[in-house]
Amino acid sequence: MKMYEPGAMASIKLLIEEENECLRAEFRGLNPNLKSKRYTQEQKEWATNKAMEIGVRATARLLSLQRKSIQRWLRESGVTVRRCPGWVYEWANQRNKRREKWGWIKARRGY
């Protein structure tokens, strides 16, 4: 693991935050009516392209938007989006198997 100088991490975080602010400004700049609460088609396309590049959750955090909004925009553009990551389905399946097993054990022991 590479060690950084004490101030290096702070400057790296600052550079990342500056880049993120530039991306947010670019996204906001696509809407000519700043008072409108609706997103323009250009903003939706920009967000979906960014989501395809870095992921839905990262884009939602970057733009301070709801993840479900970005997922809905992706579905509208014809991209298949799962409700949650693939590992969640595996985890839930394993959890259900454990519950079944312990339910069977408890029933056999008379608890």
Answer yes or no: is pLDDT of 69 > 90.
Answer: yes
What does pLDDT average to over the chain?
Answer: 87
How many C-beta atoms lie closer than 10 Å to residue 27's C-beta? 20
What sign has the CA pseudo-torsion 79, 84, 85, 86?
negative
Residue closest to 49 by CA, chosen among 59, 39, 62, 61? 59
Query: What was the pLDDT predicted at 107?
Result: 84
What sign has the CA pseudo-torsion 27, 33, 34, 35?
negative
Residue range 29-50: average pLDDT?
87
What sign has the CA pseudo-torsion 31, 18, 63, 59?
positive
Distances (CA, A) of 37 to 12, 28, 80: 33, 11, 26
pLDDT band with cut points at 50, 70 and 90 for residue 94: very high
Query: What was the pLDDT predicted at 45?
Result: 94
Considering the entire predicted model, what is its pTM? 0.67
What sign has the CA pseudo-torsion 51, 55, 57, 61?
negative
